Amino acid sequence: MQARELAEPYPVVRQDWGAVDAARLITGENRLGLIVVDDRNHPVAVLPGSQVLRLIIPGYIRDDRTLAGVVDDDFVSTMCDALEGRTVADLLPKEKSRLPVVGPDETVLEIAALMAAEHSPIVAVVEGPGSKGALVGAITLPAVLGALLPKQITDP
């Protein structure tokens, strides 16, 4: 089985997208993160949802979580204002989350080895010239595991 057969659609954002829109996409798609692409639809990074959360939750509440229990609803409803005017580029961690990239012909074992070596539960599949191909989809860890496991024999 090859990358092109394992690739699935995956939600993407661009670096100039608003942070609020990225946050809504994470929620709407029920994903832990998004793939960030450049102008040519080449994947450049992963935006972990945890980065969005870190921007919303004030540092003093992360440091002293007892404070989280005593603030009122009005406070909570203003916290997301921290996202206003910010972009996806602002959210990306300085040490960008690496997103391994494979071509459409790579085998499931090559993909699995890459995931295991890079500690990444997702790889992007690109098609096109050299190292700047356009994103065609993503392969997640459950799909790779499913392709590697022997097919189950079900009782008739």
Question: What does the binding site for a copy of itself look like in residue numbers (CB under 8 A)?
Answer: 20, 23-24, 26-27, 29-32, 48-50, 52-54, 56-57, 61-63, 65, 68-69, 71, 76-77, 79-80, 106-110, 112-117, 119, 121, 140-146, 148-150, 152
Q: How far is the CB of 4 from a copy of itself (least distance, A)?
A: 16
Q: Minimum Å distance from CB 16 to a copy of itself?
A: 20
CB of 96 to a copy of itself, least distance (A): 16
Contact 57, 83 (CB under 8 A): no
Nearer to a copy of itself, 142 or 156 (CB): 142
Question: Which contiguous run of DSSP H or E holds residue 43?
Answer: strand 43-48
Report the C-alpha gap between 65 and 130 in whole angstroms.
48
Write out the two tokens for 38: 């450049």
Buried b (16+ CB within 10 A) or exposed e, 33-57: bbbbbeeeebbbbbbbbebbeebbe
Q: Which is nearer to a copy of itself, 39 or 95 (CB)?
A: 95
Nearer to a copy of itself among residue 39 and residue 64 (C-beta)? 64
- In angstroms, the CA 119 to CA 110 distance is 14
Which one, 50 or 132, has the nearer CB to a copy of itself? 50
Q: Please answer whether residues 111 and 139 qualify as being in contact, where contact means their C-beta atoms are separated by less than 8 angstroms.
A: yes
Minimal distance, residue 40 CB to a copy of itself, in Å:
26
